[in-house]
Structure 1
Amino acid sequence: MAGTDPNRGKTITTVLGRRLGGELLRMRETRGLRQSHAAEALTASVTKVAKMERGQVPMRDPDVRALCHLYGENDETVVGKLLALAKADRDRRKAKGWWNQYPQLAAQIEYVALEDIATELRTWQLSFVPGLLQTADYARALAVGNGAWEDLDEIETFVEARMARQARLTGERPLQLWALLHEAVLRQLVGGRAVMRAQLEHLSDMARLPNVHVQVVPFIVGAHPGMTCAFTVVSFAEAGAADVVQVDTLSTKLWLESETDAAHHNATFDRIARLGLAHSNSVRLIDSVRKEM
């Protein structure tokens, strides 16, 4: 299956496309207009307008502007935000990403594609090291423990794909990563002591990169606002392209796409971070736990 596009022939929606379409749908309904009015303004079919509002097709800038004009939205700040969303969505759709080689990433394909065009990630993890900071042995142990694959070749392909993601932390446009980790992440013996020692050493090394900020929330803080679940906030360079939030569940990746959700999770992240150790103290704790092992 290597080299094929697993999405070929399917109707694709994206997080950014759904967000853009939802905003335009809300504007249309506020004005009391029907999809046929939008179709007439675009010289397009009602079917195409419906696909736009569901995030199933990319949108050109002239179409976004035409719809904003039809809906009476003349605020250039609002229009600019929608244009930024449209551009980010187009960039994500046309990217011939390395991830398309890996069918094992099917459940994560949208997240990985967003990660590739993002400028910053803020991730809060309760039980494991974030994928961007994992060693191959640690990732392999997680895959085995997860039980999602029984075929060893599939596990190795998954590990290879996870390692490929880490190129985003270096190169010409390195991703800004803020990893907020519960102390349990450091002490969970994933793969055994040798694997964990190597993982903690790698985590300490990565924390010294200028674009990687690591904080550990120690056990002693007691109850805190991050105990419910882990989450990641994804941010983009385009002005007005609001953050999106990804939350893992047992069966799927849940996307929270509203500005309200993004603001809530960013505020929660900040509250957790205030309880965490300083970056330098976090690195010292990582090194201390590694020596204990």
Structure 2
Amino acid sequence: MQPDRVASAPSTVLGRQLGEELRGMRERAGLSTSAVADALDCTKGKISRIENGRSPVRTPDLTAMLHLYGVEDPSVHERLAELARTANKRRRGSGWWNEYGDVLADTYRDFIALEAVASSVRTFQSQMIPALLQTPDYARALTAAGRRWKQAAEIEQFVTVRLMRQQRLTADPPLSLSVVLAEGALRQQIGGPAVMRDQLEHLVHAASMPNVSVRVVPFSVGAHASMAGPYVILGFPSEAAMDVVLLDNPSGSMWLEGTTEVETYVELWNDVCTKALPAAESLELITSIEEPDR
């Protein structure tokens, strides 16, 4: 059994994600790395490097491996091919997100790339609305408050990236987004009353989308296990794919990919979902804050 891994180095997250899926498929097919290497007329070391995320995967090799593993579903082929292309672009420093390299940290660029091929995002946020549901003015106020970027042009670039990420919610297929918010995130006056009013209205509208769920943990719940801080869990379509967790802190971001660490956050997520109001009651609370005189 491989030890759990904490991913903090950029450029390898996507490759490891693809490699883990391919390893799982190979093992279920009952094939050794030597057998795969013989079939592809390459070295055993190449297969190991691919599965460890250390080597890029060319489309012909990926296609040959999937056929060898008995994976014939065209949607699986296309998804993994897209993941391979995205991982290779990230290694080469290409991809639309890299056009904003001056304002985006490596881990954030990796996150955007991985989000592009994820099927689901589950996130708990204690003090702010998650990026995928932020209005431009709300995102602008948050970015300016972060004090990392002082130039207006840099702030606008960062906001543009955030809005481009939101296109994932209306893509085909759309990203499934499940959000649990602490009530404080709804009451923190980011950007002032007018900005917050628009933000809460947008939140209600977004919650009406079939692929978006928004629930709130009210103040009345008291203490709960997720109070230690926000987190994001990304999930993927294949059963062989591992979830990954992103944590943010003032000094940067950290990926968690190890089984134990990811399971810890899945347990936190399941727990906080039991504390949150049902969807309809959550929307009533959001609306009451948006329109206090209603």
TM-score by length of 2: 0.76
Residue 148 (1) aligns with residue 142 (2): no
Match of 2:86 among 67, 80, 92: 92
Correspondence for 1:239: 239
Correspondence for 2:6: none
Correspondence for 2:109: 109
1:117-266 aligned within 5 A: 117-266=117-266
What do you get for the CA RMSD once the two structures are aligned? 3.5
In 2, Cα distance between equivalents of 1:173 and 1:198: 27
In 2, Cα distance between equivalents of 1:22 and 1:238: 11
CA 1:122–1:85 in 2, change beyond 3 Å: closer, same or farther? Answer: same
Q: Which one is further off, 106-115 or 52-61?
A: 52-61
Percent identity of equivalent pairs: 39
CA 1:281–1:238 in 2, change beyond 3 Å: closer, same or farther? Answer: same
Q: Secondary structure at the match of 2:226?
A: coil
In 1, Cα distance between equivalents of 2:240 and 2:160: 34
CA 1:16–1:64 in 2, change beyond 3 Å: closer, same or farther? Answer: farther
Displacement after TM superposition at 1:161 (Å): 1.2
Correspondence for 1:272: 272
In 1, Cα distance between equivalents of 2:104 and 2:214: 26
In 2, Cα distance between equivalents of 1:260 and 1:64: 29
Q: Secondary structure at the match of 1:227?
A: helix
Displacement after TM superposition at 1:225 (Å): 1.0
Tell me which of the two structures has the higher relative contact order, counting C-alpha pairs closer than 8 angstroms and 6 or more residues apart. Answer: 2
Displacement after TM superposition at 1:89 (Å): 4.3
CA 1:102–1:219 in 2, change beyond 3 Å: closer, same or farther? Answer: same
Q: Secondary structure at the match of 1:123?
A: strand
Displacement after TM superposition at 1:171 (Å): 3.3
CA 1:61–1:129 in 2, change beyond 3 Å: closer, same or farther? Answer: same
Q: Secondary structure at the match of 1:223?
A: coil
In 2, Cα distance between equivalents of 1:241 and 1:126: 28
Q: Structure 1, residues 14-55: CA drift from partner, whole Å, max 9, x if none?
A: 21423566897xxxxxxxxxxxx99x9687689967864763
Unaligned runs of 5+ in 2: 1-8, 24-33, 72-76
In 1, Cα distance between equivalents of 2:13 and 2:110: 8
Displacement after TM superposition at 1:56 (Å): 3.1
Equivalent position amino acid for 1:128 in 2? M
In 2, Cα distance between equivalents of 1:134 and 1:87: 31
Equivalent position amino acid for 1:119 in 2? S
How many aligned positions are there?
264
Q: Structure 1, residues 208-249: CA drift from partner, whole Å, max 9, x if none?
A: 111100000011111111011211110112231121111112
In 2, Cα distance between equivalents of 1:51 and 1:246: 24
Equivalent position amino acid for 1:58 in 2? P
Correspondence for 1:29: none
TM-score by length of 1: 0.76
CA 1:234–1:291 in 2, change beyond 3 Å: closer, same or farther? Answer: same
In 2, Cα distance between equivalents of 1:172 and 1:45: 38
Q: Structure 1, residues 77-115: CA drift from partner, whole Å, max 9, x if none?
A: 9xxxxx999756414324664323222223410001111
Equivalent position amino acid for 2:224 in 1? H
Displacement after TM superposition at 1:58 (Å): 2.0
Q: Which one is further off, 234-243 or 107-116?
A: 234-243
Is the Cα contact below 8 Å between 1:14 and 1:89 reproduced in 2?
Answer: no
Correspondence for 1:57: 55
Is the Cα contact below 8 Å between 1:127 and 1:188 reproduced in 2?
Answer: yes
Displacement after TM superposition at 1:250 (Å): 1.7
Equivalent position amino acid for 1:197 in 2? R
Unaligned runs of 5+ in 1: 1-10, 25-36, 78-82
Displacement after TM superposition at 1:172 (Å): 2.2
Is the Cα contact below 8 Å between 1:122 and 1:234 reproduced in 2?
Answer: yes
